[in-house]
Structure 1
Amino acid sequence: MNKIKKYRFDIIKYLFIAGLIVLAIVNFDRLKNIFSYLLTISMPIILGFIIAYILNIPMVMLEKLYFPNSDSIVVKKTRRPVSILVSIIIITVVLIFILNLVIPQLISVFGRIIEIIPVLANGIQSWVIENEEIFPPLAEFVETFQIDWQNIVTNMISIVNRFTTNIIETTLSTVGSVFSIVVNLFLSLMISLYVLMSKETLGRQFRILSETYLPERGHKGLMYVLEVTDYSFRHFITGEVLEALILGSLVTVGMWIFQFPYASMIGALTGVTALIPVLGAYISGAIGFIMILVDSPIQALTFLVFIIVIQQLEGNLIYPRVVGGSIGLPGLWVLISITIGGGLLGIWGMLLAVPLVSTLFKLLKNDIEYRRNNRYQEQEYVDVVEEINESDELKVND
């Protein structure tokens, strides 16, 4: 009778779940709109927790350095506020330094590219005409082919201006206004400061809620998943930042040694784009190649060889040791996760995909090891029982 009741309960449960899935599929557009609305409302809270998580990494390090052996009450009370303040100052100064270094140079180079395109095109056209015996049909075509470069440059500037205007308008329409951006950022910063100042209390309250409303197995499972997720994201962030510093320094020093132009700017850009796993170095290399090409095509080709060597060094030595080893994710899965994450969510997808896949990979790996160990233990137990039974049978026969 109990088995029949359990069987009926299971059928009702699965039918209920199937019904919910069907309703979700039928009302997908409504659910999507509701989810987008809730996400927009809760964005300052989400952003606040993200800022708190990132600031927590340098904050913990600074707390260990802030008079670690002191028993003073003043030191204990000021340890966390001072560590938070210094963390914010360090990150802000680094961001301002990089933006001031990269953006003006990019604007300058873009202007030079627009100016030099007609010169390069006319030079190529003249060279083809002068060497018409090598490519007679091409020389004949180039000689009769005329381009209004002034009109093209004007159109390019117009396209860039429209593109920039569209980005600004889209951003403003998404968040409402500049005022709402400032308010949301301020709220996010306040939330992050509150979370950092009382993270132990919040953690304790969360554990109490989990222990109270979840069964023991569910509570332990949730804590385990959160610990693995925290480990993956924390080591990914620290590993990526360290790898970006190493790669940016290598590119900067190497460019100074080989006397390439824009050494500081391209080095800083390489460090920033290196935060995008694997693909970041290629992005900065392509931008650097175009920038140097404006000044000297020969140096641009030499830089291309230099950046390929650096990328091989980064991909085969630096990244696997600094980041790959810290998150425990094989290189193939890193590339797959970046590809899928980038396709779904763009750059944010590339940044989040690696630690998320690393978390799933670690959970799956640990679960497989746990199941295999249990299976081996069960098999060993069966073997021991069989040996005992065989020995008992031999004794009986004797």
Structure 2
Amino acid sequence: MTRIRTVKGNRDLQLLLFITAFYVLATAISNLFVNLLLWRQSKQLHMILNYNFAVILSQMFFYWLAGILAKRLDRVLLFRMGIVILALFYVVILWLRENASAYTILLGAILGCGYGVYWLSYHLLTFEITEPTTRDYFNGMAGLFSSLANLVGPFGAGWVIEVTSVSKGYFLLFLVSLGLFLLAILCSWFLHRRPKETTPYALHKVWTERKRNLSLRRVLTAHIAQGWREGGILFLIILWVFTILQRERSVGLFMLLQSLFSLVLYFAWGRGWMKGHRWKYLFWGGLTSYLGIVALFFSPNPMMVYAYAILIGIAYPLIDVPYRSSTYDIIGTANKAGPWRIEYLQLRDLYTNLGRMMALLLLFFMLGAGEMKAILPWYAVLTGGGYWFISLLLVKQVE
């Protein structure tokens, strides 16, 4: 009851959840379909890799730049800037339309810029607004909104593309996403302002702290494993599902099944029914996600696609909530966590993106050695166990 009263009395926490809802619905409607649009226009996996590599490089740079600016500016203003840049991405892609695949690097750079500014300020606000007693609730509710958005967004988007022409359908999806980001910008005006930092920028000191603090070092290594799992698999899964099922609406059904099962578990986290045993949830979630993805890539048929959707729908919430909450808890107990929180978040993002870049470089190399259908099963085996490896790294750090 105390936790519920704390949450209800925290207006900024509630507003941040509303903005999260607009963000996840906008990305659920359009984000995975950007990769499908580029694939439809180019039919070249290298173009998709260039786009995603540009996203990662741009995100790394602007996450670092946003951290420096967060020392000098109101973090809410920075948060709003990130949402504006994400809205700009959809303005550009609406303008380019059929020529989008000719500007993959530009599109990736804009999206990465928006991600970098948005996620640095979002993580910072989450760190400041939530406490250890409310983090599982916040992360559970954020995951619940994400699941709800993915429950209706991709399936509805696939239906829109099927009942209209492909070009008109994609145009409508991106237009709706732009509108949702505009609503998120409006909500951000009601967040309490955050005064600029008085402490100097000290990333080099946090780097030194990493050498001294074992728990911090392990959680940072875990973020390399997270990036290694996410670098290529996240967008390759959607492309692979699309090549198997051949319809955007079927991709939407895949996401609907995944989100339906995630919804139940995120709701349980948000209600506090799964408190404790974080490491066990993380271990079994990671193992399930690995076995599921290996099975999918070695048996690529529609039945296995939908079975994988169910498995990952169960596994991901078991990984996501304890992992994110434990990360914030470990950073929160590190040396000078208050004044250096921006630098700690930057270091965490640097490790995550390092893992993503390594995974994408591996994919570039493997594509040069063979055909896409031949190399994908082996790529899945090499990178799909990242989440499970996280649980092994954090065996003594997660309660």
Give TM-score scaled by structure 1 length.
0.29
Q: Which has the higher helix share?
A: 1
Q: Which has the greater radius of gyration?
A: 1
Give TM-score scaled by structure 2 length.
0.28
Higher RCO (C-alpha 8 Å, min separation 6): 2
